[in-house]
Structure 1
């Protein structure tokens, strides 16, 4: 049971770690790319170090295989030489000695044959490992080169996109400014026209109010002087019109009127002293 929980927590931890990595990558993709390149470079360095060790091992194994083969070939040649000597030897004691030596040499050759096979097999295996390591190293180097190229291309694309975005934003701002200037001019003109119209209307209203005030004051003055506001007098005046005034008097008429007034004055009786004030008639 405890092993189950440890495994479950491990899986959960891996998922949480992956989610954190994904969030960081989404937050700053450039830094994440640079970090990934560094990881790939470190991995390539490790692969290079491993390849170097494998090549050294291969060189050692190859040298040992070559030395084992050369030792075997030299001893085989010696055995063949002793065999020819044994065939040509007529002395029984020498022949017996050669036979003993040849038997020992053949025993060594039989042992060396297996040793040579092992050394050559190890050398072949080391060579195969070197080939695999070289292929892996080339793949990692290619992947790193492509990743760097892709990052450089992405940075160039992002830079071009940023420049294009700035150009489009500038173009949009200029278009907005032009539209704003046109709209602003029209708007300002409309505001000016509206203000002038309102002023003209207000002036008309003020003029009409002044006219009505003057008319009212004039009518009141006429009513005060002529008929004191009497409706009957006003109607009568309107009926007779303006022709009911006193006709013009000539010079002779005026002189005669004055003469008559003087005569009338002389004919008046003398004032009565008993009256309380002069010229008072009873």
Structure 2
């Protein structure tokens, strides 16, 4: 039996979608539809300090406005906390996790060099410390990346069909469960892609580096490996990436202004940005 292509769009309800989100959703949707496959939606709503229920409705309205239809029920990460806890328990039982008590300021002060705009690489300050008397203190759980990579052995994944050697060590000991959230992006997205049967992950090139970590977690947890297709990001006339922090126009604002969503989607597919005078 031929494999059914399954792609997903998985926004976080921490704000309103902008054209960059639309571009990624359209590419994921069209990838599946052109192959007779399924396009599913997941709401990544476990960031308790920033996620807002009211943004969920707006996200779905935006997708409908663009003319994108999804298959099946929408998955909410906030309803899957037991799955993330079980995965953490497995990794702890393998001796791969440790408590980290460091603050952001302490990490920034002691971290290894990281590319401009990237998260600092954690220097392993809490790795190997005796945390027995500190378990009541606020802490996150980090993975001992060197130990985990040695256990998993050499790994590969594909991007647009080209084999990529996984290099999870470059990310350092990433967080898998935060102080203020039951699971990190890395852990939750890996588990959920497997649970939803995602065969092809279509997402922005800004997440290329994260895939090295996801490939490692797939190996450790015995999960299937999807094919990856990281796409270029949309940029404005100033060359800056279209993102919330750069005040990119929201889809909700465009809808309120009377824009035709299907026409906007058609322009993006044609390589043009509507109303903001820049090319994709």
> What is the TM-score when the length of structure 1 is the normalising length?
0.18
Q: Which has the larger radius of gyration?
A: 1
Structure with more of its chain in helix, by fraction: 1
TM-score w.r.t. the length of structure 2 is: 0.18
Which of structures 1 and 2 has the larger relative contact order (alpha carbons within 8 angstroms, sep 6+)?
A: 2
| Greater per-residue strand proportion | 2
